[in-house]
Chains A and B, each alone.
Chain A
Amino acid sequence: MTARIAYCTDMEKSVLSNNFEKRGWIQVGPDDEWNFYWAGAQTCRSLFSVDSGYRMNDNQMINHFPTHYELTRKDLLVKNIKRYRRELEREGSPLAARDATGRYIHLDFLPTTFMLPADYNLFVEEFRRNPNTTWILKPAGRSQGVGIFLVNKLAQIKKWSRDTKSSFNPALVKDTYVISRYIENPLLIGGKKFDLRMYVLVTSYRPLKAYMYKQGFCRFCTVRYDTSGQELDNMFVHLTNVSIQKHGEEYNSVHGGKWPVRTLRLYLEGTRGKARTDKLFADVTWLVVHSLRAVAPIMASDRHCFECYGYDIIIDDQLKPWMIEVNASPSMTSTTANDRIMKYKLVDDIISIVLPPDGVPNVHWNKIPANDKSGDFELLLDEELYQNSDHSATHRGKNSDRHSAPRWK
């Protein structure tokens, strides 16, 4: 007689509990024998820490990887991607080719970023080279738009660094900051700036198995975009985070400023043509895959783990996507009715993919879900399937560089 699956959750969200309840799972506390834990990042930190001595059994599954911060902390992400690019260059891979100005041709999806205070001098050099640019400062470990501001003069940075150094606020001093080139020419639709939120599910890092959710959405600012520099302080113009926008005067809770990616695609195909639109979405996929490959070698690929990331991407007016950041705990709060429906299905599809066919978490399962289990997820990359098919197929004479490239669906 199989016992019922026990779940545990750190957050009381209906899109989560409805999904667990509908499967007949029973809720238990974190100290009980749970099989499935939807945890917050804080819990994972303590759970996975060496000190806790916590060992998970074969029938337990949790929704974060121990070292997820390598991808989701802004400073570590930058460090990892820079390292990845250098490694590819050392190997002589054509992926790491650079153009005449030194920009990576194929892997240029991260806006120029520096760590502060560590890379301060490098940043100043870059700033002096291009003095008429705007930069965005973000605390490395925060979210929801907290602590972010824009600068376009060196004096503003100097002032800020003086302020934080002299502050006794431990939170401020502890934070590393990243400063990135602000994308001043975002694609505007209806005169407003937006960013793209795409959900990416990773069930394993070695071998890499990643799935992208088809129902992404755009988050629009409530105020028209202004490039004159006079509105740099107006966060409603620049930051697309819903946590910020929902306090704006013009916020509408019926649509919540959220626009389905499907309609974005329709609009872009109709106004910019199919080729350019297809390229944009292919570039988004490319960006996601390479960011995952960059952190895969150093990620603890614990078989108990899976993770659903929220990728924030900004599209510029040349239809080039830029990676802004990756969120380990994308919000499960629903701001509109459609949002609730989408997030409910998202969690439903996640559970469907990460569980073995018999529905019981099992560390020994090969993590190859059946085709009908993906729901609205699209397989991005499964290195195990790729390696299997490569060995079973007759030698096709691929050159060695192609082996290191991800296999597209």
Chain B
Amino acid sequence: MASKMLRQGLGTNITAIVNRLASELQNTPFYNDFLADVQTTMATQNFNKERFGAECYEWAQGTSLDTRLRNALYHLMHVQPTLLANPDTPRHVLKEPLTYIRKAQSAWERRLVKCVNSMTAELGVPLSRRRTKQEKEEFSDRWASLSTEETDLTMIRPVYAPKDFLEVLASLRNPNYDEAVEENLWGSIQLPFKVNDIKGLVELYGELAYCCKHTGLDEAVAGEYKANLTLAEERLILGQKVVERNHGPLSRELIKSGCPTSLRGVLWHQVLGLEITDKHYKHFDELVQAVLQHDLLVDKLIMKDIQLTASNDDQYFVFEDILFQVLLCFFRDTEVLSHFEHSSASPPLAVARGNTPSPDALVAYPPCGVIPFHGFTMYAAPLSCLYEDPVPLYFTFREMYCRYWYRLHIVTSHSQGAAALALQFELLLQSCETRLWQHCCAMSIQLLPIVFKWIVRAFSGYLVPDQLFHLWDVVLAWESLEVLPVLALAIVSFRRENLMDVTSQQAAEAVLADITAISVIPLLKLALAADRGREREP
């Protein structure tokens, strides 16, 4: 009876959802060009007047127009996931269904804003300032080598670091949760979210656990179909065909079993639904102009962050100049504000100087609505190994941030939010590495603070670039951040013996300090397929 009602409920909603998707699609910039192309191409065909609709549909099947439409829809569904929800859901619930979480996120936001405000007061630096003509010229001259900018950043401190955020998450409590009655939560995270256990993860990552021919495992083995070629060579040939087909979901399927290095740049664009056109170049130029126009306090924050992270990084120091450009533009980009529709967070608002405070005069500060934290640069840094040109680099970084990374530093009940991932790690540790977990409890060792750093940065800067790319391939292919706690667990399992030998938090940190030698895919497979006496479905 209940399932029948559910089916009926979904039934009417599916129509509503489809209609909504269709109308949203018509609002996207893609639509006008697409319609023009369709009309032009159709004009060359001879369709029967009576059977116009059917013939048209038949003709369109399998053409590039069809692929373009599918890609656009696929992209839309990802960029605006709220379109798939029940249309009757109120906005604030779409953003965050749980009230106490909503309150916690607001409190966190207020704290960050307070910090920024006090920084501006302490340092006497305004939040935003128009550059003088001379300053503009000087800055423009140095645009190619901003790493040599001589602004004094010694007084600038990051607004927060992942460990501060973890403290906040660890202090959250669900007011409806009664410890005495319900299941105990034994770790730092005391939030009863529903997260996948190892069985659920194995099901989710099925192919990763079972399929053996992954180029991240060993690309020198013989190919699956052509024994005379190596796996790497075979995948490259296949990859080139997939790239030509230019169909998002197909590209996604390919990278599930390993992405050829030379095709990664273009495959990631296809999976993300990104097609860099002149419009993108124009938009980037506008952002550059915006950077030249105004000097923001946030600029100093991010410049300091680059200096602290990327400039000192063995792998990414080469690209510091381009990272300055990309990140300064990011904080000016108001298009980023649209991701707040499906985020529990909201952008901090400020009143432009000279205006009277009223709801209409409020603008987001910074313009993109995101306040950077220590390590924020590292979301963009690895992409510099994929894209030479700052424009594709910028848009790929922006897209990945708005789809995935934003959830790693906000208070949200989403199953891929930082809190849920942290909880997932703890539960996995307790169920899969029980002895190790017990040892850590006995020695007052907490592994979560160590792995949380990795998770918030999506392991950027901790793994070597080619291994990091394998990990981000998995994130994109399965469209989920759950691989992050799985990898964290896998690394901890891998170093289990050393961890069992240590008796202090410091020593545990030393064991896990350097993970540059870690190979991602073998460890993930081990973690997902290991038979530790768990019940497994045949």
Interface residues of A (CB under 8 A from B): 189-192, 220, 224, 250, 252, 254-255, 257-260, 262-263, 266-267, 269-271, 273-274, 277, 336, 338
Contacts and interface: CB of A to CB of B under 8 A. Distances in A.
Contact of B312 (A224, A255, A263, A270): A255
Q: Is the interface of B mostly helix, strand, loop or mixed?
A: helix
Contacts of B261: 266, 269-270, 274
Interface in B299-323: 311-315, 317-322
A263 B385 contact: yes
5 contacts: A250-B147, A255-B312, A263-B465, A266-B466, A273-B262
Given A255-B317, A262-B466, A263-B465, A274 B260 contact: yes
A253 to B, nearest CB: 10
B466 A274 contact: no
A231 to B, nearest CB: 13
B404 interface: no
Interface string B251-281: 0000000001110110000000000000000
B318 A190 contact: yes
B73 interface: no
Interface residues of B, number: 30
Q: Which A-B residue pairs are the 6 nearest by beta carbons?
A: A274-B262, A190-B318, A269-B261, A254-B312, A269-B262, A270-B386
Given A190-B321, A271-B388, A252 B465 contact: no
B314 A270 contact: no
A270 B385 contact: yes
Contacts of B313: 255
Contact of A192 (B312, B318, B465, B466): B318
Interface in B308-344: 311-315, 317-322
Contacts of A274: 236, 260-262
Nearest to A256: B314
B201 to A, nearest CB: 29
B311 A252 contact: yes
Interface in B483-509: none
Contacts of A250: 147-148
B464 A270 contact: no
A28 B322 CA distance: 53
Given A224-B144, A254-B312, A266 B385 contact: yes
Nearest to B469: A266
Contacts of B320: 190
Contact of A255 (B236, B314, B469): B314
A270 B315 contact: no
Interface of B: 144-145, 147-148, 236, 260-262, 264-265, 311-315, 317-322, 384-388, 464-466, 469
B470 to A, nearest CB: 11
A266 B463 CA distance: 14
Contacts of B317: 252, 255, 257, 259
A336 B261 CA distance: 29
Contacts of B319: 189-190
Nearest to A278: B262
Contacts of A258: 314
Contact of B321 (A191, A255, A269): A191
Nearest to B264: A270
A319 to B, nearest CB: 13
Given A254-B312, A255-B314, A263-B465, A270 B265 contact: yes
B265 A271 contact: yes
Contacts of B236: 274
A349 to B, nearest CB: 17
Contacts of A255: 312-314, 317
Nearest to A253: B312
A204 B265 CA distance: 44
Contact of B145 (A224, A262, A269): A224
A1 B147 CA distance: 62
A263 B315 contact: yes
B265 A259 contact: no
A262 B385 CA distance: 12
Contact of A259 (B318, B321, B388): B318
Question: Which of B260, B314, B319, B386 is most buried by chain A, counting CB atoms within 10 A of its CB?
Answer: B314
Nearest to B319: A190
A274 B261 CA distance: 8
Contacts of A224: 144-145, 321
Contacts of A338: 314
Question: Which of A190, A191, A220, A273 is most buried by chain B, counting CB atoms within 10 A of its CB?
Answer: A190
Given A220-B318, A263-B315, A263-B385, A270 B144 contact: no
Contacts of A273: 262
Question: Which of A252, A267, A269, A270 is most buried by chain B, counting CB atoms within 10 A of its CB?
Answer: A270
A252 B315 CA distance: 13
A338 B464 CA distance: 13
A274 B144 CA distance: 28
Question: Which of B322, B466, B469 is most buried by chain A, counting CB atoms within 10 A of its CB?
Answer: B466
Contacts of B147: 250
A338 B321 CA distance: 23
A21 B73 CA distance: 65
A22 to B, nearest CB: 20
B312 A266 contact: no
Contacts of B469: 266
A233 B465 CA distance: 36
Contacts of A263: 315, 385, 464-466
A316 to B, nearest CB: 16
Nearest to A249: B148
Given A190-B319, A266-B385, 12 more contacts: A191-B144, A224-B321, A250-B147, A255-B313, A259-B317, A260-B315, A262-B466, A269-B262, A270-B261, A270-B265, A271-B388, A274-B261
B393 to A, nearest CB: 11
Contacts of A269: 261-262
Contacts of A260: 314-315
Contacts of A262: 464, 466
B465 to A, nearest CB: 6
A11 B319 CA distance: 36
A255 B461 CA distance: 13
A187 B319 CA distance: 14
A255 B311 CA distance: 9
A270 B267 CA distance: 11
A390 to B, nearest CB: 25
Contacts of A277: 262
A224 B387 CA distance: 19
A274 B384 CA distance: 17
Nearest to A337: B314
Contacts of B260: 274
Contacts of B466: 262-263, 266
A271 B390 CA distance: 13
B326 to A, nearest CB: 13
Nearest to B236: A274
Question: Which of B144, B313, B318 is most buried by chain A, counting CB atoms within 10 A of its CB?
Answer: B318
A190 B318 CA distance: 6
Contacts of B312: 252, 254-255
